Each structure stands twice: as structure tokens, then as C-alpha cells.
RNA sequence: GGCCUCGUGGCGGAGUGGUGACGCAGAGGACUGCAAAUCCUUGCACCCGAGUUCGAUUCUCGGCGAGGCCUCCA
């Protein structure tokens, strides 16, 4: 493979060349949503960022040679709470299913609007309980986990190099002293693999009784099932580094006896509002749905492609301060880009765009180049396919507006009338026609024929 | 307290040991009957201090400032 990809690896804190374990099957896992409520725009960032990465990998290694797994977390105490709150009359399992199905559907609609293509597999935690039990059994058998007071806990002291990802040695953690030190834990940093459920909590039978999994174990189980014990890339938000990913690593490595879980760990930065992390628990967040379908942000709705472009205008590891001004700039940019259908695979994207993306997903440079290509394509239609292929790689290609032939003919007729009015210097009538079309969302553009100096009018559907 | 990021013009943002990207907005102009679109021109910056260097925005150290993780969290 000639294209060279480099990614910043949280594990080493360095940008290094990417070498897939198997170029015929490049494997990536990304932590997906916990489905209890609308996803906020901060949740959209990893979905978009790793969607771009997925597209890039598919371009480099081939569409059928990349496996992208993104999970749905549908077992969680927040889901239970939401189910009890919203559907108090129903049996718990039914209430939970209502909450998770509704939220999952909404999530899929939201990120589809943001231009994200579907991952190869999207496993659910509840479909992988036996796999989790198997891993926990293995951890116990290998002396990395123990049972105490109805919980199965991971024994962090049993792993000599625990803390590599977050660079947080165990002894130093105690300085924080904010970890709830339960007496039944051998060490304060030990975390739950399995906990018993009461009657009004969802539960599954296990060797340790009817219970439910801890937070981290699902990703270990699902990544193993779909990607193998060791895979190429694991992604997620910065806040997952500790404890979630650290503990995933501990579980997977100790269960499998491997030196790494994933070779490359990539983490996206936060979306901020007024300089602070957007967070559900802090209450300062705006949902994707609100941006798309309501006027709560900036007094208007925002198309998904604008939200996506605004997101890609900042490097994925940097924080983004979400603002109306930023969205407006994205809108101005995209408004100048030509619409096109995605070309077939025979049209190569611009090498500069590929190179930019290959340099630790430098979407900023890629978008800048795209903007140049757009201007070139506007001047010379022959360059349109390359622009379109490049834009498609980023997932930000403006779609051709659907206009049927009869309408187009009517527009052309009106344009013909306007040109006649102009020749007759009947400006009032000419402007009336222009305004009439404008009101219907048709923007006229007057240019001059270079050879004859004659006025030439073209039109497009306003975006 | 421990551990991580980051600090570039009005805004967004690359990048580099040595001619101060680029985009958006702004200003001026061309074109136009007037617009829109397009094109041309243009002002504005590298947190502070010390060090290394012939030379630092770029390297080192120290400040200051912002944010994050250590508790559910993308």
C-alpha cells in the first residue's frame, strides 16, 4: 500500500506510521452511545471523526478490507432510571426496551443526518452477555479477578503494568482520594466486572447469580468477538481514557495474555460551550436533534452537513468551542461549493486531501484544500469530479438538488423572458421575475460570455 | 495534590529555526441598469521572561493563562 498513514497514539503519546496487523482486514473499534437520551453534539464528534477515519481506511485498504465496530450500550443504570421514570406502569424489561429502542432509532437518524455511514457491525451489550461472562470466568481463573460481596471485581494489583494508557500508576491514584473506597475491594482502583441485580433491576443468570455487567466489560467482549483479541485502532472521547479504556485494556490483556489490546488508541477532544466541556451531567449541552430540527440554537435549524463541516474545521484532538459564528462560517463555505453526485471509484480524490487526512486526520488542511478545489471546479467543470471525489471522502459533498425536468424547463423559460425584458430595458419586469424565482429558492447568476460579451444567466437551487 | 492537553491576526485555524499559509469576516476596486455570483487589491498575529543560536513564533527552562482526567461522561 503506497499511501502512508500516521496517527497520534495515546498509548505512546507520539504520532507514528500506521501498520495494520492484516491489510486485508483492518479492524477498528469505537465506543458508541449509551442509549438513554438524545445524543448531544459532543457525542457527535467521535461519530463524525471516526467516520472520516473509516472512509479513509476504506479508501486506502479497500472498501471490503476494513471492519469498523461501534457498540450500542443498552445496559446501564441510567437506562434503568430513565425507564422507571418514563414508563412507571410497565414491567421493567418492557420499559427498558422502549427507552433503548427509541433512543437508538433517534441516534441513528441523528448521525445519518450528519453524514456518517454505518459501521460494519454495531453490536449491543445485551446481545453479548455470555461473551462477557466467559471473559470474567477467564479473568477469575487466571487470578485477575475475585468475588466479594456479590460482585466480581478486577484485581488491579494483579496486572503489573496497569495504567499505561492514562500514565497513571496505581499508587498515585490514591492521592486523589476521590475513588469510593469500598471495604470489599482489595485495592481502591479495583473495578466491577459483574454485580448482582435486585428484583427491579435488569439481570442475567451467571455463575455468580442473577446480575448485570460492569461498565467496561462489554467493550472487551464485543471487540474480541468482532475484531479479535488484538486489533488495530480503538477510538473514543478523551474522557474515556480513564477509567474506561484503561480498564478495557486491563480486562482484555489479562484475559487473553496479550501485550496490547489495540495497537493505536485515538481520542477526540471535547466540544465546548462557552469554553467549558459539554456534558450531560453538568446540564450544559445541546442535542444533535435540537440543532437539526429546532430553533433553540441561534434561532434557526442547522442542516447536518453544516454541523459536520463545522466539526471538521478543527483538528479532532483540539477542543471546539461550539458557536453560531462557527456554524455560519461553515455554511458560507459550503454554499460556495458545487453540488454533485458522488463519483464512482474510478475518480481519485485529490492527493493533497488524502495526504492531509493521512497525517493524523488533518481535516482542517483537507477542508482548506477542498475549498480550493471547489473554486477551481466552479471555474472549470472538468475539475468537478476530483472535487466531488475528495468531498465524498470527507463526507461533505453537497447533494444535487432534485429538480424535475418540467420545473427546470419552466425556470429556463422565465430566464428567457427576463433576458428579453433586459434587452428592452424593462428592468422592473426583469427584477420581478428574478425576485419571483428567488422566492421559490432559485438563485440566478449572471455572467458574461467571454467571447461575445453577451449576458449569460445560469441558476441553482439555493442551499 | 497527581497526571494530561493547549495558548498564532476580529474569528477559525495550519505550519516552520531565517522571504510573517490559508479561509471567513472587514476595507477598497472591477463587473452590473441595480443586485447576487465572480474576480483583483488590502490592513491586522505568533501569552510573558530567560536561555541555546548568526537568527526563534518554531528548541530548552521558568512563569502566567485556559481546558480536561483522577466520580457517570464522547
Which chain A residues 61-100 have CB under 7 A to strand B? 78
Interface pTM, i.e. ipTM: 0.92
Pair A35, A107: CB distance under 8 Å = yes
Q: Which of A297, A302, A300, A301 is nearest to A284 (CA)?
A: A297
Residue A283 CA, nucleotide B57 C1', distance (Å): 38
Domain range list for chain A: 6-124+221-268, 339-400, 405-461
Residue A300 CA, nucleotide B13 C1', distance (Å): 26
Residue A404 CA, nucleotide B35 C1', distance (Å): 28
Q: Which residue lies nearest B6, CA-to-C1' measured?
A: A318
Question: CA torsion A69→A306→A340→A453, rounded to 10°?
Answer: -160
Query: φ and ψ at A40, to 5 degrees?
Result: -95, 175
Per-residue pLDDT at A447 exceeds 70: yes
pLDDT digits (tens, 9 = 90+) for A201-249: 899 999 999 999 999 999 999 999 999 999 999 999 999 999 999 999 9
Which chain A residues 362-381 have CB under 7 A to strand B? 362, 364-365, 368, 371, 375, 378-379
Q: Cα–Cα distance between A26 and A61 in angstroms, integer?
A: 8
Q: Kindly determine whether the C-beta of residue A319 is less than 7 Å away from any atom of nucleic acid strand B.
A: yes
pLDDT digits (tens, 9 = 90+) for A64-78: 999 999 999 999 999
Nearest nucleotide (C1') to alpha carbon of A267 = B74
Within its chain, how far is the Cα of A285 from the centroid?
A: 17
Say which CATH architecture domain A6-124+221-268 belongs to.
3-Layer(aba) Sandwich (3.40)
Q: Which nucleotides of B are covered by protein (CB under 7 A)?
A: 1-6, 11-15, 21-25, 31-39, 66-74
Residue A184: its pLDDT value, please? 79
Amino acid at each position: 500500500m503506497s499511501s502512508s498513514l500516521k496517527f497520534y497514539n495515546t498509548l505512546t503519546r507520539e504520532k507514528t506510521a500506521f501498520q495494520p496487523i492484516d491489510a486485508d482486514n483492518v479492524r477498528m473499534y469505537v465506543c458508541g452511545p449509551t442509549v438513554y437520551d438524545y445524543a448531544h453534539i459532543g457525542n457527535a464528534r467521535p461519530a463524525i471523526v471516526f467516520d472520516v477515519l473509516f472512509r479513509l481506511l476504506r479508501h486506502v485498504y479497500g472498501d471490503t478490507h476494513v471492519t469498523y465496530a461501534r457498540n450500542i450500550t443498552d445496559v446501564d443504570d441510567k437506562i434503568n432510571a430513565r425507564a422507571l421514570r418514563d414508563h412507571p406502569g410497565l414491567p421493567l424489561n418492557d420499559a427498558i426496551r422502549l427507552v433503548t429502542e427509541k433512543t437508538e432509532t433517534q441516534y441513528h437518524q441523528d448521525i445519518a443526518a450528519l453524514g456518517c455511514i454505518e459501521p460494519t457491525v454495531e453490536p449491543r451489550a445485551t446481545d453479548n452477555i455470555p461473551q462477557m461472562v466467559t471473559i470474567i470466568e477467564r479473568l477469575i481463573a487466571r487470578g485477575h479477578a475475585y468475588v466479594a460481596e456479590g460482585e466480581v471485581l478486577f484485581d488491579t494489583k494483579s496486572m503489573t503494568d496497569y495504567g499505561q494508557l492514562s500514565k497513571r500508576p496505581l499508587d498515585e491514584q490514591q492521592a486523589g482520594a476521590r475513588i469510593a473506597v469500598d471495604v470489599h475491594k482489595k485495592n481502591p482502583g479495583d473495578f466491577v466486572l459483574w454485580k448482582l441485580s435486585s428484583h427491579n433491576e435488569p439481570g442475567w443468570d451467571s455463575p455468580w447469580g442473577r446480575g448485570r455487567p460492569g461498565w467496561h466489560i462489554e467493550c472487551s467482549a464485543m471487540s474480541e468477538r468482532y475484531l479479535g483479541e488484538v486489533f488495530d485502532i480503538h477510538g473514543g472521547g478523551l474522557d474515556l481514557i480513564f477509567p474506561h479504556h484503561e480498564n478495557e485494556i486491563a480486562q482484555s490483556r489479562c484475559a487473553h495474555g496479550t501485550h496490547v489490546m489495540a495497537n493505536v488508541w485515538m481520542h477526540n477532544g471535547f466540544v465546548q460551550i462557552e469554553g467549558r466541556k459539554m456534558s450531560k451531567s453538568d446540564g450544559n449541552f445541546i442535542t444533535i436533534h435540537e440543532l437539526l430540527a429546532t430553533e433553540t440554537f441561534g434561532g434557526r435549524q442547522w442542516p447536518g452537513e453544516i454541523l459536520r463541516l463545522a466539526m471538521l474545521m478543527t483538528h479532532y484532538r483540539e477542543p471546539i468551542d461550539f458557536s453560531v459564528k462557527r456554524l455560519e462560517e461553515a455554511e458560507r463555505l459550503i454554499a460556495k461549493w458545487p453540488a454533485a453526485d458522488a463519483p464512482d471509484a474510478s475518480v481519485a480524490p485529490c492527493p493533497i486531501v488524502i495526504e492531509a487526512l493521512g497525517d493524523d486526520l488533518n481535516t482542517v488542511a483537507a477542508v482548506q484544500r477542498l475549498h480550493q478545489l471547489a473554486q477551481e471546479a466552479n471555474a472549470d467543470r472538468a475539475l468537478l469530479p476530483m472535487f466531488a471525489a475528495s468531498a465524498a471522502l470527507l463526507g461533505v459533498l453537497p447533494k444535487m438538488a432534485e429538480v424535475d425536468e418540467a420545473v427546470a424547463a419552466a425556470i429556463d423559460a422565465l430566464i428567457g423572458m427576463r433576458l428579453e425584458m433586459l434587452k428592452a430595458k424593462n428592468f422592473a419586469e426583469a427584477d420581478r421575475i428574478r425576485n419571483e424565482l428567488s422566492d421559490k429558492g432559485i438563485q440566478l447568476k449572471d455572467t458574461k460570455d467571454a467571447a461575445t460579451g453577451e449576458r449569460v444567466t445560469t441558476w441553482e437551487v439555493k442551499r
